[in-house]
Amino acid sequence: MSNVLRATLLSLFGSLAPGCASPGPPAATATPEAPGAPADLVIKAGVVRTMDPAKPRAEAVAVRGERIVYVGSAADTKAFVGPGTRVVELPGRAVVPGLVDGHGHLYGLGIALETPSVRGAKSVEEAAAVVAEAAKARPRGEWITGRGWDQNLWPGAAFPTHGPLDAAAPEHPVALRRVDGHALWANAAAMRAAGVGRGTQDPPGGRVLRDAAGEPTGVFIDKAMDLVEARIPADPPAVRERRILRAAEEALSCGLTGVHEMGIDDETVTAYRALAAAGRLPIRVHAYLAGEGRLEGLRGRAPDVDATGTAMFVLRGVKLFADGALGSRGAALLEPYADEPSTSGLLLMEPDALARAARLVADAGFQLAVHAIGDRANRAALDAFEALGPGRAAALRFRVEHAQIVSPDDLPRFSALGVIASMQPTHATSDMPWAPARLGAHRLKGAYAWRSLRSSGARLVFGSDFPVEDASPLLGMYAAVTRQDLSGQPPGGWMPEERLDLDEALLAFTAAPAYASWAEGQRGRIAPGYVADLTVLGRDLSPDRSLVDTPIDMVVVGGRVARAGAPALRPDRHPMSRPTQ
């Protein structure tokens, strides 16, 4: 992981935490097998929501190998049942096409899941206990990094020393950032590994705290943090694979069969490829390389193309940032912030740099995904895409990530340019308490504007941006159809005219991400010939608060049961606040 990505993740989680020439896949050509040929798996449920306009509802699905061979009545599945067929009877349950998160950070979730959070610890001992727990879970010698301690919450409010961390994890180097990111707390093993000792000088802009004898105490201020952090080795492949697998399990438990992995480095790509090649990656990952730093390197490489829709890992895109986040007033707006008129935010890439980057990505045949929150950033992204010439951005399925605040003048441009609007419904319900203050009433039109975009003809892909938000697509659907928080506020929903209906929300978590990953005709629908990626829910979906607690009963990926009998989602896992954005 790049340092920039690491820093971004740290700041977000607090807790560390094509070619244009290559056509999309052909439409599925497989035809339903003649009755008599047995299926491997038959699922009979209360209802099958197929997302197939030709047959929107069914009762049963039959699967052979990786593909669906039959969709229809439960009675007619008899013809597909042979001695080796696994028949699963799930009365009252609902089957939907495999749910896909169109914008998540699977590797980032893996980091977050195994990073000890010492945030809120009320004493040195409490913080050290968290580290001791983390040490148990990983091999000796592996670094433990984390964040969140604040000595002002502790008795005496003094800076800590390395002693408690030595006791907690004597054989693991430990380095924990303070809650504000401006101090590092290390143990003796970390200082040894970094070669820090009595003779270490304070670097310019930094300070090493020392005891009366001049020995470093374990706390490093500002630039002195580098003395330790620069010596932390890159994560080895086995650690990366472990994180991916752990995060994939979490994603499966949320009912996901696929994720669009929004920005990873080459080492993480290698880990994904190794897992996929070994048949160990349990969910599908459509990945994007992170960052400007990798643009030049694109010239020599080609995007992955998966013509069958069955690949578990595909690297086909590049992710760039046009601006920052709204919460921190880093989103680039056309007019100043309503609650801080001295600033209108900041473009992280100037329009001409963005346009050059878009051309470079297009020429290399990759798919570009541009993070754009503010209306100025969205305009810059659309301008850059338009400058490629007629039809080019559409052919390459370029996308805008978040598309959060869009000038009403620019709303129709998504459809006109064929640009995908990749949005996260829970961002709206997380931001609604404070977004109006940032934006002012006049600018809310065009903010989190799912209905407006959809009505204009734009393609909406939904995701969660996990682990910034919870990974559950059911939470996203709930936010999309209600625009309310989990307690049902505000009554009627926030800007209710932008709500979607349930089928539209489901489409944005199924068929739409399939299109965005060149898998239309292969995935995103339950129909004969399609890949058997299925999510089985404990009951049918209904457009209300009950969505959130709908149990995930089974997840099928490529015809294989990847997860069965997952526990119901727990409400306490659903933070609906997102302080950083």
Which CB atom, from 262 or from 526, has the smaller least distance to Zn ion?
Answer: 262
CA distances from 76 to 47, 71, 80, 468, 526 (A): 15, 9, 8, 45, 16
* 308: amino acid identity, one letter: T
Shortest Cβ distance from residue 263 to Zn ion (Å)?
7
Residue nearest Zn ion (C-beta atom): 465
Q: CA–CA separation, 198 vs 365, rounded Å?
A: 54
Which CB atom, from 306 or from 401, has the smaller least distance to Zn ion?
Answer: 401
Shortest Cβ distance from residue 424 to Zn ion (Å)?
8
Shortest Cβ distance from residue 389 to Zn ion (Å)?
28
Q: CA–CA separation, 177 vs 141, rounded Å?
A: 19
Which CB atom, from 8 or from 77, has the smaller least distance to Zn ion?
Answer: 8
Shortest Cβ distance from residue 106 to Zn ion (Å)?
11
Q: Locate 488 and state its tokens.
A: 């049902």
Shortest Cβ distance from residue 577 to Zn ion (Å)?
17
Shortest Cβ distance from residue 323 to Zn ion (Å)?
13
Cβ of 158: how many Cβ atoms within 10 Å? 10
Quote the strand ranges of 373-499, DSSP E.
399-402, 420-423, 460-462
Which CB atom, from 465 or from 470, has the smaller least distance to Zn ion?
Answer: 465
Which CB atom, from 115 or from 581, has the smaller least distance to Zn ion?
Answer: 581
Spatial CB neighbours of 256, under 8 Å, sequence gap ≥ 6: 98, 99, 100, 101, 283, 471, 473, 535, 555
Shortest Cβ distance from residue 465 to Zn ion (Å)?
4
By the criterion CB under 5 A, which residues form the site for Zn ion? 262, 465
Q: CA–CA separation, 324 vs 549, rounded Å?
A: 32
Shortest Cβ distance from residue 262 to Zn ion (Å)?
5
Q: Which residues pair with 220 in a beta bridge?
A: 184, 208
Which CB atom, from 344 or from 422, has the smaller least distance to Zn ion?
Answer: 422
In the DSSP assignment, the letter for residue 314 is: E
Question: Would you say 57 and 13 are in contact if contact means Cβ atoms under 8 Å apart?
Answer: no
Apex CA 51: angle with CA 45 and CA 495, to 5°? Answer: 110
Q: Which residues pair with 143 in a beta bridge?
A: none
Which CB atom, from 143 or from 398, has the smaller least distance to Zn ion?
Answer: 398
Which CB atom, from 121 or from 405, has the smaller least distance to Zn ion?
Answer: 405
Q: Which of 67, 199, 96, 190 minimizes the C-alpha distance to 477?
A: 96
